[in-house]
A and B are shown apart, each in its own frame.
Chain A
Amino acid sequence: MSWCGCYPAASPVAVTLRKLVHVAVGSGSYRKGPALYAQQTAFLHQIQPSGTLEDEQTCQASTADHEPGAMNAEDRVYHERFMREAINMAELALVSDETPVGCVFVKDGEIIGRGMNETNRTLNGTRHAEFVAIAGILSKHPVSIFKETDLYVTVEPCVMCASMLRQYGIRAVYFGCWNERFGGTGGVLNIHSDPSVDKPYPVTGGIFREEAILLLRKFYVQENEKAPEPKQKRTRELKTEIMPMDLHAPKQCA
Chain B
Amino acid sequence: MVSLRGGDEALHSAFAQLDLDPRNGRLVALKTKEEVRAALETFEAHVVELPARYAGVLKDVIQTALPDLKTADFQHLRRVAQWKFLPPRLQKQFKSPRGDDESFCEDDNAELEDTVRYFLVCPTTAISKATLQDILRRNPPFMDRDRDPRIFHVEVPALAPTSPEQAAQWSLKYWPISYKNTNPYGPHPSLVARNTAEIEAHAGKWLSLADSVAQLLHALSLGERVGCVIVDNNGERQEIIAVAGDCRWRSSSGAAEPHQGPGNVMAHAVERAIAMAAKKRLRAAGKDPDLLDRKLFCDWPLTDLEKQFYEQDNILPNGYLCVDLDIYITHEPCVMCSMAILHSRFKRCVFAQRMPMTGGLTADAVATKVDKGIGWTSSLGQGIFWRPSELNWKLLAWEWIEEDAKDSTNDCMNTTGNSDTLHA
Contact = CB atoms under 8 A, between A and B. Distances in A.
Q: Do A and B bind each other?
A: yes
Contacts of A16: 37, 40-41
Interface stretch (A7-15, A50-58, A101-109): A7-15
Nearest to B378: A9
B2 interface: no
Contacts of B363: 15
Interface string A118-138: 100111111100011011101
Nearest to B369: A1
A117 B203 CA distance: 34
Interface string B367-402: 011110001111011101000001110000000000
Nearest to A236: B320
A11 to B, nearest CB: 5
A123 B421 contact: no
Nearest to A136: B294
A99 to B, nearest CB: 12
A34 interface: yes
Nearest to A240: B343
Contacts of B294: 132, 135-136, 139
Contacts of A181: 390-392
Residue of A9, A15, A134, A158 ringed by the most chain B CB atoms within 10 A: A15
Given A14-B378, A131-B266, A139-B295, A163 B335 contact: yes
A134 B266 contact: yes
B271 interface: yes
Contacts of B413: 1
B384 A159 contact: yes
B36 interface: yes
A175 B271 CA distance: 24
A11 B376 contact: yes
A144 B421 CA distance: 19
Interface stretch (A80-88, A184-192, A221-229): A184-192
Interface in B246-288: 252, 261-266, 271, 274-275, 278, 281-282, 285
A237 B41 CA distance: 37
Contacts of A161: 336
A9 B375 CA distance: 12
B117 interface: no
A126 B275 contact: yes
Interface in B332-381: 334-337, 339-340, 342-345, 356-358, 360, 363-365, 368-371, 375-378, 380-381
Contact of A167 (B274, B292, B423): B423
A92 interface: no
Contacts of A143: 261-264
Contacts of A36: 357
B357 A188 contact: no
B68 to A, nearest CB: 27
Contact of A197 (B336, B364, B421): B421
B154 interface: no
Contacts of A138: 252, 264, 296
A220 interface: no
B384 A1 contact: no
A134 B344 CA distance: 20
A195 interface: yes
Nearest to A2: B371
Contact of B343 (A123, A158, A195, A237): A158
Contact of A15 (B37, B292, B322): B37
A121 B292 contact: yes
B392 A195 contact: no
A79 interface: no
B179 interface: no
B297 interface: yes
Given A1-B368, A15-B37, A126-B275, A188 B252 contact: no
A7 B382 contact: no
A243 interface: yes
A135 B262 contact: no
B360 A188 contact: no
A159 B391 contact: yes
Contacts of B1: none
Contact of B266 (A118, A164, A195): A164
A12 B378 contact: yes
Contact of A3 (B36, B40, B252, B420): B420
B262 A169 contact: yes
Contacts of A132: 294
Contact of B365 (A11, A35, A136, A182): A11
A195 B358 CA distance: 10
Q: Which 6 A-B pairs have the closest CB atoms?
A: A160-B339, A124-B278, A163-B335, A240-B343, A163-B336, A9-B378
Given A160-B343, A167-B262, 19 more contacts: A1-B375, A10-B378, A11-B378, A118-B292, A121-B292, A123-B282, A124-B321, A125-B322, A126-B275, A131-B266, A131-B297, A135-B294, A135-B297, A159-B339, A163-B339, A164-B265, A167-B423, A169-B262, A240-B321
7 contacts: A12-B376, A118-B292, A126-B343, A135-B266, A143-B261, A167-B262, A198-B262
Interface of B: 36-37, 39-41, 252, 261-266, 271, 274-275, 278, 281-282, 285, 291-292, 294-297, 320-322, 334-337, 339-340, 342-345, 356-358, 360, 363-365, 368-371, 375-378, 380-382, 384, 390-392, 411, 413, 420-421, 423
